[in-house]
Amino acid sequence: MKFAIPRGRLMECSINLLNKAGINTNINDERKLVFYSDKDIIMFPKPMDIPAYVEHNADIGICGSDVLLENKNYVFSPLKLNFGKCRLSIISNKKYKIRDLYDLKIATRHPEITYNYFRKLGINVNIIKLNGSLELAPLTGIADAIVDIIETGETLRKNNLIEIKKIMDISAVLIVNRISMKTKYNEINNFIDNIKGVLYEY
């Protein structure tokens, strides 16, 4: 089978999960983007690209639930995993109330989620798509607030930023190519059963 595993914060736990589920990852060079192991292929795209790889090429992938929601790719998500837990929140260097953000600038890697969240509240905001160092945006005046992932909150404390409101909880999820779910039904279901058997360890 073909697996798409994200680089970054989910990589180590994802590899460990595959190993415990009986997939020999055989990774000896973390700079390589594709690994061949026995009958399996393991690829390492950027986290935001995982759903696209699973929709168009890979059989199985692991990504954050926020990435899945943001990208809206046509994939099947049978399992929530017990790692990669964090939250997506509105953050600023000022003590805004939600309604105070009307017509202000919000920087984020998650424009779709951000737009839908504020739309449901009836609050118009101007969304700026950024790819990195979001914490810098309110500190430099590029944006009034950001929508970003919080894990420990340490970066916020070091930069005098305030969590204004949590939008959603996030965890890693298992996703499956919908065609593979039919053509490799037994193989994929056996893998999912193996994953279920080791999830309690995380």
State the average pLDDT over residues 75-90.
95
The highest-level CATH class for domain 2-84+171-201 is: alpha beta
Rounded Cα distance between 55 and 109, Å, is: 21
pLDDT at residue number 30? 63
Burial class (CB in 10 A: 0-12, 13-18, 19+), 61: buried
Phi/psi region, residue 85 (left: phi>0; alpha: psi -120 to 50; beta: rest), is beta
Condensed to tens digits (0 to 9), the pLDDT of residues 114-124 reads 999 999 999 99
pLDDT at residue number 124? 97
Query: Given pLDDT bands bounded at 50, 70 and 90, which one contains residue 44?
Result: very high
Residues of the chain with CATH 3.40.190.10: 2-84+171-201, 86-170
Lowest mean pLDDT among 112-116, 123-127, 195-199: 195-199
Query: Given pLDDT bands bounded at 50, 70 and 90, which one contains residue 84?
Result: very high
Rounded Cα distance between 113 and 108, Å, is: 9
Query: Given pLDDT bands bounded at 50, 70 and 90, which one contains residue 200?
Result: low
pLDDT reading at 32 higher than 80:
no
Whole-prediction pTM:
0.89
pLDDT at residue number 126? 98
CATH, domain range 86-170: 3.40.190.10
Rounded Cα distance between 102 and 123, Å, is: 5
pLDDT reading at 202 higher than 90:
no
